A and B are shown apart, each in its own frame.
Chain A
Amino acid sequence: MGILKEKDREKLINVFKDIEKDVKIVMFTQEMECPRCEMTRLMLEEVSGLSDKLSLEVHDFVAEADLAKKYGVDKIPATVLLGDMDYGIRFYGVPAGYEFNVLIEDIMDVGKRNPGLSKEVMTELAKVDRPVHMQVLISPT
C-alpha cells in the first residue's frame, strides 16, 4: 500500500492534467534516513509518478554537500521545486497535513510558469531590486 489514498491519487492525477511544462522536484535526504526523510521521499516518489511532466531527483545531503550548498539547503528533509529556473521554492520537513495542499499548488504554479498573481502585483514585485528577507508567521486556525 502506498502513502497516498486511492481517492487522493485520482484527485492528483486529475489536477496534474493542467501542468503545462516540466517540473523537477529535487529532494535531499541522507543514507541513514531519518523517519521524516523517508516519509518525504516515499511521498514525493508517489506524487512525481502521477504525471509525465514531473520528475524527481533524490540526493544525499552528506555525500553531495556541494549540491546541497548550491541550492542553499542546510537541513533535511528538503524539497526543491524547479522549472525553467530556480524560483527559490523550498520545503523543509515533511510537506504533509495541510502543507500538502501548498506543495501541490506550488507544483502547479511552477508547472504553469504562473504564480497566479495579478498583473499589478507582478509589476510591483518586478521593481524589487535588492534581496529582501521575508518571514511570514501564520497560525493554521
Chain B
Amino acid sequence: MLNYLLFIATIGSIYGLLALSLNLIWGGAGMVNLGLAGFFAVGAYASALATTDAHLPIVAGWILALAAGGLAGLVVTLSTTRLREDYLAIVTLGFAEVVRLVAANEVWLTRGTDGISGIPGPWKALLGSDFNAVYLLIVLTILALVFLLMRRIDRSPYGRVLRAIREDAQVAQVAGKPVLRFKAEAFALSAGIAGLAGALYGHFTSYIAPDLFLPLITVYVFLAVAGGGTGRPAGALIGAYLLMVLLESARFLVELVPVISAVQRAALKELIIAVALILVLRLAPGGLLSERVPAAPRLPMEGKS
C-alpha cells in the first residue's frame, strides 16, 4: 500500500508540474495549449535519449528536457501567437499528434513504438526499495521550486502584464507592451516546464513510448487546473492532487458496481472522470481556490463547517 501511495503521490506531483505549466498560460495569459501531452513527450524523449544513448548524467537530461520543451514551445508559438485562442487550441492539438507520430515512426531516433526502456533513475540501484520515496522527494523539491517561481511571476509586474493581455490584448498593446513577445515567452516557459515533467516521468517509470502521450493526459491536466482554480498556482497544484485522487478512487469505486463486464467497468471509469470535469466547469467555474476571491456573499451555509 505504501509503495502505491508513494507512486500515486509522485505521479500526482508530476501532474502538478503539468498543471502549473498550463496554469501559467491559461490562467496567466489566457492562452490555451491542447498539446500539453506533446511537450510532455518532447521532454521525456530528450532526457531519455540523453541519458541512455548519450550516457549523460540524469541532471543534464533534465536540463535538456526543459530546454527542448521550451524550444518546441517557441516554435509552435511563433507560428501561432497571432492566432485567436480557438485556432491555437486546434493547432496545439495537432502539434501533440505530430510529436506522437514522429516518436512512433522515426525508429532510428526514438526506437519507434517499442519505446525506450531502461531509463536510469537517480541512485536506483543503491536505494533499492527506498527509490520511490527518494524520487518523490526529488520531484517535490522541483515542484516546490517551480511553484515558487510561478508565485513570483504571478505577483510580479510581469504577471500583471500577462493578465492584462488575458483581459484585453489590444489594450495591452496600446499601453506599449510587446504582447507577442510576452505571449511567446510565457508559452515557451510553460512548454519547458511540461518538458521537465516529461523527463521526471520517464526517469521514474524507466520506460517511455509513443502510446504514453495520448491526448487524454491533456484532458486530465485541464481537469486539474479547472478544478483547482485557474489563475492561481496553488489552485492548479491542489487540482492536480485531487485529480489523482479522483483517477485512482474511480478505479476502486467501479469495483463496487456489481454485475457488469470488465469493459463496462472501464467505460464507467472514464465516464466518471469526464462527467466530473463537466460538473466542475459548470458548478465551480472558478475552481476550488478562486471561489474564495471575494464574490457575492451568497453562501449562508459556509459558517457551519
Q: Are A and B associated in one complex?
A: no
Q: Which of B's residues lie within 8 Å of A, judged by CB?
A: none
